[in-house]
């Protein structure tokens, strides 16, 4: 059975390797002075059967990366960094992964619940893998 945590760890690893500050389910523990960061929201995914024998070894999951910045341009800059980081296949031990498929998201929005206001744009991706 494929597990979600190795997939989540692979996404986190490439985002962090790109130089972004990344939080899970909220802002990172240390928010950079630039106020530019990404937040990862991972769903539990699901195992899909690969044949009529009901062998469930294919993993499919969705995740969202919310890109945050103090201006519209800076939130979009974070989105570009995320897109570049997720361009190639992820490295998940014992699995062959497809490159994350970008599904898009809504336009940039302003968060007036924080002071000073920040801008954010959530971008969703689909992830698939099979046994290597």
Res 125 pLDDT > 80:
yes
**120 band by pLDDT with thresholds 50, 70 and 90:** very high
Res 53 pLDDT > 80:
no
Res 91 pLDDT > 80:
yes
In Å, what is the CA distance from 39 to each residue of 4, 23, 73, 75, 131?
17, 5, 17, 12, 28
Residue 54: the pLDDT is 74
Class of domain 4-131 (CATH, top level): alpha beta
Average the pLDDT over 106-115 and give the result.
Answer: 97
Domain-by-domain residue ranges, the chain? 4-131
pLDDT in tens, 57-85: 899 999 999 999 999 999 999 999 999 99
Q: Give the long-range contacts of residues 82-85, CB within 8 A, separation 24 or more.
A: 82/15, 82/18, 82/20, 82/38, 82/123, 83/123, 84/18, 85/14, 85/15, 85/17, 85/18, 85/20
Residue 101: the pLDDT is 97
Q: What is the mean pLDDT of the chain?
A: 95
């Amino acid at each position: 059975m494929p597990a979600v945590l190795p997939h989540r760890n692979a996404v986190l690893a490439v985002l962090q390797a790109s130089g972004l500050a990344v939080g899970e389910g909220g802002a990172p523990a240390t928010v950079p002075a630039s106020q530019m960061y990404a937040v990862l929201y991972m769903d539990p995914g699901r195992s899909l059967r690969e044949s009529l024998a009901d062998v469930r070894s294919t993993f499919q999951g969705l995740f969202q990366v919310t890109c945050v910045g103090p201006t519209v341009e800076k939130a979009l800059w974070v989105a570009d960094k995320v897109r570049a980081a997720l361009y190639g296949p992820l490295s998940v031990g014992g699995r062959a992964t497809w490159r994350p498929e970008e599904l898009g998201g809504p336009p940039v929005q302003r968060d007036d619940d924080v002071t000073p206001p920040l801008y954010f744009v959530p971008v969703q991706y689909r992830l698939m893998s099979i046994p290597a």
